[in-house]
Amino acid sequence: MLQGKADLYSVNVPLVKGMSQNKVLWTSVLENRWESRSCFEEVIGDVTNAKEEEEGIREAEGNERGLLAGNEGGRAQRQQQKHFKWSPRFQDVYRSVERSGEGNDGRTIMEHDIRLVCMGMRTTC
């Protein structure tokens, strides 16, 4: 380690039977992209608890701030709100890994090997 600098490493150990017999490999990071439209999907239907919680937060915020910018009456202007939940489509990542070559973290993890990646700080990674 250089004085005043540090390297950052990421280690992934698959929790599979016989893991202690698997290879440990230095890899690069596979640049994955979400090919599908989004990693979120709109929640349709009852979101009562989330909506009540959000309204409470917004009311407290409004009371703390007083007047909202561009709204001299100090009342929040209501807009139709939509709710979303994290809903990743992992098929995108799986396809990316299958199309990739050897030596990247995705392929190494898929093959149940242990991977080490230098995330960088020094230029000697």
User: Is the predicted pLDDT of residue 65 greater than 60, yes or no?
Assistant: no
User: Is the predicted pLDDT of residue 60 greater than 70, yes or no?
Assistant: no
pLDDT at residue number 72: 55
- Maximum CA pair distance of the chain? 69
pLDDT at residue number 66: 46
Return all residues near 84 (Cβ < 8 A) that are at least 6 apart: 40, 41, 42, 43
Quickly state the pLDDT bin for 75 (edges 50, 70, 90): low
82 half-sphere exposure, CB direction, 13 A CA radius: 6
Strand order in the sheet with 9-12: 9-12, 114-118, 24-26
| Token digits of residue 94 | 């799986």
Is 25 in contact with 113 (CB distance < 8 Å)? yes
Q: How far apart are the first and last CA of the chain?
A: 12
Each domain of the chain, given as residue ranges in start order, spans 1-31+89-125
